[in-house]
Amino acid sequence: QKEVEQDPGPLSVPEGAIVSLNCTYSNSAFQYFMWYRQYSRKGPELLMYTYSSGNKEDGRFTAQVDKSSKYISLFIRDSQPSDSATYLCAPRKDSWGKLQFGAGTQVVVTP
Amino acid sequence: DVKVTQSSRYLVKRTGEKVFLECVQDMDHENMFWYRQDPGLGLRLIYFSYDVKMKEKGDIPEGYSVSREKKERFSLILESASTNQTSMYLCASRDEQGAQPQHFGDGTRLSIL
């Protein structure tokens, strides 16, 4: 079993819809939870991160962590075609900042 | 803005060759990482360096080695390239303080024929 599970998609939504992405993980020691966005033929870029359980909002993006169920979510409101990318969840493994990546979910937002 | 530069976007090499992938960061970061990314498997850590001349094996180090002689440069070496090392290779760096995230380069797509 992988330490971080993520549905690969593709997830196709119409422009303006809410995109809901999620990951599950098995290691209860994870404390920081990162979300990266990766466009085709580019490296991942950090979207946002949260510490422990709770919500964090940044513009159209909201990240949620439920440590009791080991469940991580990312919501994108008012989705745009420019949000079409692969989204990677990545809990932090240790104090050196090593990350355990999920396989990524491909999102396609159609105009 | 942090800039992580990987020397080649695309590289084609032959089986058995020794291959060098170079990565340079411009933010004086202590920590640097090498990953490979394969469809359905996500990013897997090959090697990690927490400072100059310091390195640690990641999850899949077999067939690879690394070199970090200067703080800004982290090299990945394929000692004798094999076809199963065909992949996208990504380099990242981070400031070791607190919860600083990793910053990635745009990757090198390596094909071993």
What residues of B are in contact with residue A4 (Cβ under 8 Å)?
A: 42
Across the interface, do B42 and A99 touch by the CB < 8 Å criterion? no
For chain A, say whether B50 makes contact (Cβ under 8 Å): yes
Q: How far is CA B58 from CA A23, B2, B49, B66, in A?
A: 22, 23, 10, 11
- A26 closest CA partner among A91, A105, A104: A91
With a cut of 80, say whether residue B1 has pLDDT above it.
no
Residue with tokens 């690879």: B64
What's the pLDDT at B97? 78
- Flag whether pLDDT at A1 surpasses 80: no
Whether B96 and A104 lie within 8 Å, measured CB to CB: no
pLDDT tens by residue, B78-104: 999 999 999 999 999 998 877 788 999
CA–CA dist B38, B40 (Å, integer): 6
Gap between the Cα atoms of A90 and A6, Å rounded: 10
Q: CA–CA separation, A101 vs A92, rounded Å? A: 9
| A102 CA: distance to closest CA in chain B (Å) | 6
Distance CA A15, CA A72 (A): 24
Token couple for B7: 């020397």
Kindly list the residues from chain A whose CB atom is less than 8 angstroms away from the CB atom of residue B4: 43
- Between CA B34 and CA B85 the distance in angstroms is 14
Chain B touched by A59 (CB under 8 Å): no
